[in-house]
């Protein structure tokens, strides 16, 4: 078998491996991801280049429960740009994250006031100015801010602008905040739905997290719950949970804040159901463990978990119904479902879970939770035999009985008129049944060159599920590149539902002798060695004709002109018959321009450019020529 065939084997195996390795899709931000966000902030704390990075890093790591040291206050004062309202906003937010860091409010008052009074300020700049003023303890003219926000709403209706308006409203009085809180539902409807599973806004995770964060901030200030449909909230949570890593500190900060809002018991909490154990269920791992938590991976309170059903994907057979899962302890978020049972055959299963909280917690996502598992079993290779027979079956085949995992000790000699046949069965140790597997092959390896040739072992039809692989030394000689010599023979069996795969060396001294007229391929050993360098060569210029040929050709080209000049001299060429005036001058000038255009066409222009220029020259040439001919005709009539 060629390398292409080997790739086909890999492509068959990979999907099943990836299914086993991939956990169920859940919205849970695992502790590893929390550590990743924390590590991202801690890495940024080593060196700051701007005040915005200080803001997002210090505020973000504080949201994760780490108190940043006050030593960063000097960095804030050093990097803040007092002439930029956004820089002042970031500085005040960063200072707010520290326990003891005060900024001089009077140094920023003038710029903040002028920004709020300006008719050119954007929604974001209004928010920066209002938030910075609040952080510095400065008074804000709420009526003027509200008027400016209303004007901006008519000219900029982007979701980002509306998000900053909500964040600004959260800094103002409760009536104003309530007005903006009532617009949350309209903003939710503007989110883009992807595959019916997630909701997001144009601009990515940073914009989406900012908007959802604004929902909670303005609703909290207004003293009302966030008015989002539970199904839509689940879709937002699903979107955020897919963002395991983010590129910018801004996105990391707002994502952290959103996770905290979605995990706060004061708010509606999306429940995360995920499998904490591997997908494979076996005698060694008989139970499925399920985690029930919030997006921070924390317990959501006392809750009952029931496996409504467990269906086999192959035929939809229900093997479990209405079975309650057992909590590890009263405070644990881990639940156990015993699943390995003699009555449950091996296969892939989907378990449907329903959750019921004991208290009055505001939990959503309690139904339609599924986890994927597979029941595996151990297997054994039995009834294996190796046959060496003639191609035309004139002689009786020689049969060798094989016992796994023992190798056949005697040497096997096969010639070009023979073929090798291997048969075996795969037995499920748990049920005692013979089963079919997803991969079954035999592999020959040249002991000298290490070249591998692989053949598929096919299951013979019938209840016995016997596998058979056949290799004919005549028809399959090309696969071996006609290389006679010693080969290893290995049987390979694998399946995603088997706990143990097989790579059984049947014999390490199989001597293959191909037809004597066959030519051995010597180049296969050099397949992966460097090839000779390819040096590009330009076409060699054609040899030019002798100079005398060029001169004669040029002379023949100029000969008609010479004949014209001689003819004019013999006829008595003169300019006495040329009429005077503007028209003759324009005619001859246009005529000369046309000849000059032919030269330029030869040297520089293409045909289409030449036609355009010639069309322009033709207009005065035609008009002036017509006028000159009229003058000459009038002269002739006068002479007559």
**pLDDT of 59-112, one tens digit each?**
999 999 899 999 999 999 999 999 999 999 999 999 999 999 999 999 999 999
Question: On the CB side of 314, how many CA atoms lie within 13 Å of its CA?
Answer: 9
Q: Residues 436, 441, 442, 447: what is their CA dihedral angle, to the nearest 10 degrees?
A: -150
Helices of type H across 322-453: none
Q: Answer yes or no: are the C-beta atoms of 469 and 442 closer than 8 Å.
A: yes
User: Tokens 């839509």 — which residue?
Assistant: 232
The reported pLDDT for the residue numbered 628 is: 85
The conformational region for residue 322 under phi > 0 = left, psi -120 to 50 = alpha, else beta, is left
Contact 212, 162 (CB under 8 A): no
Tell me if 130 sits within 8 A of 145, measured CB to CB.
Answer: yes
Distance CA 620, CA 298 (A): 90
DSSP-based three-state secondary structure for 494: strand
Count CB-CB contacts under 10 A for residue 439. Answer: 18
Point out the least confidently predicted range of 15-19, 305-309, 432-436, 570-574. 15-19
pLDDT tens digit sequence for 518-541: 666 555 556 677 888 888 888 888
180 pLDDT higher than 50: yes
pLDDT band at 178 (very low <50, low <70, confident <90, very high): very high
**Whole-angstrom distance, CA of residue 582 vs CA of residue 68:** 92
Tell me: pLDDT of 386 over 90.
yes
Answer yes or no: are the C-beta atoms of 414 and 444 closer than 8 Å: no
- The pair of structure tokens assigned to 621 is 């040439």
Q: In this structure, how many other beta carbons lie within 10 angstroms of the beta carbon of residue 364?
A: 15
Closest CA to 500 of 340, 379, 374, 407: 379
Tens of pLDDT, residues 333-359: 899 999 988 788 889 999 999 999 887
If one counts every other C-beta atom within 10 angstroms of the C-beta of residue 217, the result is 21
Residue 16 has a pLDDT of: 40
Torsion of CA 275, 279, 283, 287, to 10 degrees: 10
Q: Is the pLDDT of residue 427 over 60?
A: yes
Q: What's the pLDDT band for 478 if we cut at 50, 70, 90?
A: confident
Q: Can you give the pTM of this predicted structure?
A: 0.68
Q: Residue 302 has what pLDDT?
A: 86
Lowest mean pLDDT among 406-420, 474-488, 489-503, 572-586: 572-586
Q: pLDDT tens digits, residue range 218-240? A: 999 999 999 899 999 999 998 98
288 has pLDDT over 70: yes
Is the pLDDT at 19 greater than 80? The verdict is no
pLDDT tens, position by position, 361-372: 789 888 888 899
CB 338 within 8 A of CB 282: no
Mean pLDDT of 612-631: 90
Torsion (CA) 471, 474, 479, 484 in degrees, nearest 10: 100
Calculate what percentage of the chain has a pLDDT beyond 70.
91
Which positions ≥6 away from 116 have C-beta within 8 Å?
A: 126, 129, 130, 133, 140, 141, 144, 145, 148
Classified as helix, coil or strand, 448 is coil
Average pLDDT over residues 137-165: 92
The answer, yes or no, to whether residue 9 has pLDDT greater than 60, is no
Are the CB atoms for 389 and 473 separated by under 8 Å?
no
Gap between the Cα atoms of 591 and 625, Å rounded: 9
Q: Is the pLDDT score of 497 beyond 70?
A: yes
Average pLDDT score, the chain = 86
The rounded distance, in Å, linking the Cα atoms of 65 and 28 is: 19
Cα–Cα distance between 470 and 386 in angstroms, integer? 10
């Amino acid at each position: 078998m060629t390398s292409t065939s080997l790739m086909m084997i890999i492509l068959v195996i990979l999907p099943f491996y990836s299914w086993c390795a991939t956990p169920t899709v859940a919205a849970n931000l695992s502790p590893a991801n929390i550590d990743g966000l924390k590590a991202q902030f801690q890495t940024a704390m080593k060196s700051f280049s701007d005040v915005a990075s200080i803001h997002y890093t210090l505020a973000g790591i504080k949201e994760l429960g780490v108190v940043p040291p006050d030593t960063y206050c000097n960095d804030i004062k050093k990097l803040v740009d007092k002439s930029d309202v956004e820089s002042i906003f970031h500085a005040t937010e960063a200072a707010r994250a520290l326990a003891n860091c005060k900024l001089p409010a009077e140094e920023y008052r003038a710029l903040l006031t002028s920004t709020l009074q300006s008719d050119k300020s954007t929604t974001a700049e209004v928010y920066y100015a209002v938030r910075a003023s609040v952080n510095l303890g400065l008074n804000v003219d709420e009526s003027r801010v509200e008027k400016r926000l209303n004007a901006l709403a008519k000219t900029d209706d982007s979701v980002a602008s509306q998000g900053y308006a909500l964040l600004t409203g959260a800094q103002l009085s409760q009536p104003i905040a309530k007005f903006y809180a009532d617009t949350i539902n309209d903003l939710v409807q503007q989110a883009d739905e992807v595959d019916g599973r997630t909701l997001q806004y144009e601009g990515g995770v940073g914009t989406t997290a900012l908007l959802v964060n604004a929902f909670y901030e303005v609703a909290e200030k207004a003293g009302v719950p966030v008015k989002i449909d539970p199904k839509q909230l689940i879709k937002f949570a699903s979107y955020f949970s897919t963002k395991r890593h983010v590129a910018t500190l801004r996105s990391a900060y707002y994502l952290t804040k959103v996770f905290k809002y979605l995990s706060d018991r004061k708010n509606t909490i999306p429940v995360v159901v995920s499998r904490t154990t591997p997908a494979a269920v076996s005698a060694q791992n008989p139970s499925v463990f399920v985690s029930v938590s919030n997006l921070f991976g924390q317990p959501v309170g006392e809750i009952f978990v029931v496996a409504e059903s467990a269906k086999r994907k192959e035929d939809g057979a229900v093997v479990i119904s209405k079975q309650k899962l057992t909590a590890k302890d009263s405070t644990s978020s881990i639940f156990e479902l015993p699943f390995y049972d003699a009555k449950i055959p091996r296969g892939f299963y989907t378990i449907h879970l329903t959750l019921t909280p004991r208290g009055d917690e505001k939990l959503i996502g309690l139904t339609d939770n599924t986890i994927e598992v597979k029941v595996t079993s151990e297997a054994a290779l039995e009834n294996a035999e190796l046959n060496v027979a003639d191609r035309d079956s004139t002689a009786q085949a020689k049969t060798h009985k094989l016992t796994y995992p023992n190798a056949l000790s005697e040497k096997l000699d096969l010639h070009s008129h023979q073929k090798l046949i291997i048969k075996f069965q795969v037995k499920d140790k748990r049920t005692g049944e013979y089963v079919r597997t997803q991969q079954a092959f035999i592999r020959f390896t040249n002991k000298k060159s290490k070249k591998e040739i692989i053949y598929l072992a096919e299951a013979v039809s019938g209840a016995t599920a016997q596998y058979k692989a056949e290799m004919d030394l005549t028809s399959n000689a090309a696969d071996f590149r006609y290389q006679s010599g010693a080969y290893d023979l290995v049987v390979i069996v694998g399946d995603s539902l088997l706990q143990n795969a097989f790579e059984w060396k049947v014999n390490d001294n199989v001597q293959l002798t191909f037809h004597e007229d066959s030519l051995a391929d010597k180049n296969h050993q050099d397949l992966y060695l460097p090839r000779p360098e390819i040096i590009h060569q330009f076409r060699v210029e054609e040899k030019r004709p002798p100079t005398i040929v060029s001169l004669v050709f040029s002379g023949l080209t100029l000969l008609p002109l010479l004949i014209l000049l001689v003819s004019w001299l013999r006829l008595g060429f003169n300019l006495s018959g040329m009429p005077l005036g503007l028209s003759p001058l324009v005619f001859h000038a246009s005529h000369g321009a046309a000849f000059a255009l032919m030269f330029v066409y030869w040297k520089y222009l293409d045909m289409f450019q030449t036609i355009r220029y010639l069309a322009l020259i033709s207009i005065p040439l035609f008009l002036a020529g017509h006028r000159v001919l009229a003058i000459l005709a009038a002269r002739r009539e006068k002479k007559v």
